[in-house]
Amino acid sequence: MDFSAKLSAAWAKNDSLLCVGLDPDLDKLPKHLASSTDSLFVFNRAIIDATTDLVCAYKPNSAFYESLGADGVNQLKKTCDYIRENHPHIPILLDAKRGDIGNTNEHYAQFAFDYLGVDAITIAPYMGQEANAAFLARADKGIIVLCRTSNPGAGEFQDLEVDGKKLYQLVAERVSTDWNEHNNCLLVVGATSPTELADVRTLVGDDITFLVPGVGAQGGDVEATVKAGINQQGTGVIINSSRGIIFASDGKDFAEAARKEAESLRDEINKYRN
């Protein structure tokens, strides 16, 4: 099953547009896990098992694992293997924001898709379509291109005008028309900018899915995000929350607390879908 079909099935099965970001910062783990072997994986496994019927995807951010060296990468691998083996209907999005010359990207693609076995990866568009061909050629995988991000400084470059259009608008148009030969491209568009989110939806139409960070700890408004981002089918978005869910409690009830927050956010998202 290719990424698009897997995502559509997860949207339907769990009636959810929610993605949980698996960003297990060692400094924020529950104290009873902090010194245990494979603490990141143990934490992730509990979060996954507690929320698997509430989400349409999981999104590990590679930085939280790479910063710990080989041990961290091993725990990222264990996390991805666990999802694939125990909850195979849920897509895995690797948030890595890769982008380099073509032969380097080929190795990034091999790491993400062949070693970790993820279903999609975030990439940067700055080096152009030719450099990103190694990702785009993976027709069965989701290629999620940075477009209008959720961080406060996003507009420094993304809002610059080129021939009367903002850079993020040109990225959206180019990805949707020129890069999407295999219908496997998505766009990152942040919840903290609902006006731009609606703008990108207008530019690309209903067929491009958005990964939408910024709800939760970053302060993105759920109602505005859903209404600006969804397509006419009431889908078309993967709305991510990381810290607001996985660190809902720092006690032994952390998984139960995460489930409660995930269920609440999923239900709030669904209120505004129709």
Give the total number of structural domains in the chain.
1
Q: What is the pLDDT of residues 11-59, one digit of tens each?
A: 999 999 999 999 999 999 999 997 778 999 999 999 999 999 999 999 9
Does the global pTM surpass 0.95? Answer: yes
203 lies in which domain range? 3-271
Q: What is the pLDDT of residues 206-215, one digit of tens each?
A: 999 999 998 8
Residue 9 confidence (pLDDT) above 70:
yes
d(CA 255, CA 197): 31
Residue 217 confidence (pLDDT) above 70:
no
- CATH number for the domain including 139? 3.20.20.70
Instruction: Look up 97 and say whether it is catalytic.
Output: yes
Question: For the chain, what is the mean pLDDT?
Answer: 95
User: Of the listed 97, 141, 166, 227, which one is catalytic?
Assistant: 97
Which tops the pLDDT comparison, 49 or 151? 49
Would you state the structure tokens that stand for residue 80, as one six-digit string? Answer: 């991805």
- The whole-number pLDDT of residue 193 equals 84
- The whole-number pLDDT of residue 52 equals 98
